[in-house]
Structure 1
Amino acid sequence: MSSINAKSYAKVVQNGVQAVQEVEELRRTGYSDNQIFVLAHDEDRTDRIADTAAASEIGVKEEGMMNSVANLFRSRGDELRAKITSLGFTEDEADFYEKELDMGKVLVIAKQNP
């Protein structure tokens, strides 16, 4: 499933290889590295894919300080949903994407600058 709204694009892919390919395609369409994010359910897997794809991870800049600190006390599922909504997705979309991540898939997000 892909979702496009005023600020963000998301695509669920099956694995890290497909995530890297999607990141490369987004770069070809004009997105820069700091506009492309990858997210997996496992934090280490997110780090590895982001490093391989030279993509960004969702951090304080995107989430804001309060959400970033709150994530220290949230379950991984709640943290993932908070990260997804911080990039402009609705709670329903975040729920859908988090369930996909639970099944081992990877989420690639491209965010346009305002």
Structure 2
Amino acid sequence: MTVKKTVENVVQAKSEVEKLVSTGYSHDDIYIFAHDEKRGNDITEALDTEKVGLKEEGVLNTLKNLVSSRGDELRSKMEAAGLTTTEAETAEEELDQGKLVIIANKTNNK
């Protein structure tokens, strides 16, 4: 099952990650997205969550993202983490507003 949460800052993100872990998700099941790549990487590292990579996206999408806009890359990665195309579009709009999107998906890492 895929769960999506939107939060305003890293403090709220930490709280949501803790809630997800307490309900049975592992840190490897949880992805955090920010529009700014450095911010997203820093938060992912600080909260010990997973990055969407080759395993989730596949080779073709990973290569395509090398030349895509940041918005296209984020939507592709959020779809790989478990969102539908429509959900990823909505989530990317939330990222444009400076929010963080958290996706928890138990099926991606099994």
Q: Settle same-fold status: TM greater than 0.5.
A: yes
Shift of 1:88: 2.6
Do structure 1's residue 10 and structure 2's residue 8 form an aligned pair? Answer: no
1:80 is paired with a residue whose SS is helix
Per-residue displacement from partner, 1:44-68 (whole Å, max 9, x unpaired)? 0011111111111111111111111
Per-residue displacement from partner, 1:51-103 (whole Å, max 9, x unpaired)? 11111111111111111111000000000010111123221111100000010
Could you say which residue in structure 2 is the equivalent of 1:93?
A: 87
CA distance in 2, matches of 1:26, 1:78: 27
The TM-score normalised by the length of structure 2 is: 0.92
CA distance in 2, matches of 1:104, 1:40: 7
Name structure 2 gaps, 5 residues minimum.
Answer: none
Instruction: Describe how 1:66-77 pairs up with structure 2 within 5 A.
Output: 66-77=60-71
Could you say which residue in structure 2 is the equivalent of 1:107?
A: 101
* 8 Å CA contact retained: 1:20, 1:52: no
Q: How many residues were matched structurally?
A: 108
The TM-score normalised by the length of structure 1 is: 0.89
Letter in 1 for 2:15: Q
CA distance in 2, matches of 1:54, 1:88: 19
Could you say which residue in structure 1 is the equivalent of 2:78?
A: 84
Do structure 1's residue 46 and structure 2's residue 40 form an aligned pair? Answer: yes
Instruction: Describe how 1:16-35 pairs up with structure 2 within 5 A.
Output: 16-35=10-29
Query: Post-superposition, which runs of at least 4 consecutive aligned residues in structure 1 deviate over 3 A?
Result: none
CA distance in 2, matches of 1:20, 1:66: 32
Among the aligned pairs, what percent are the same residue?
45
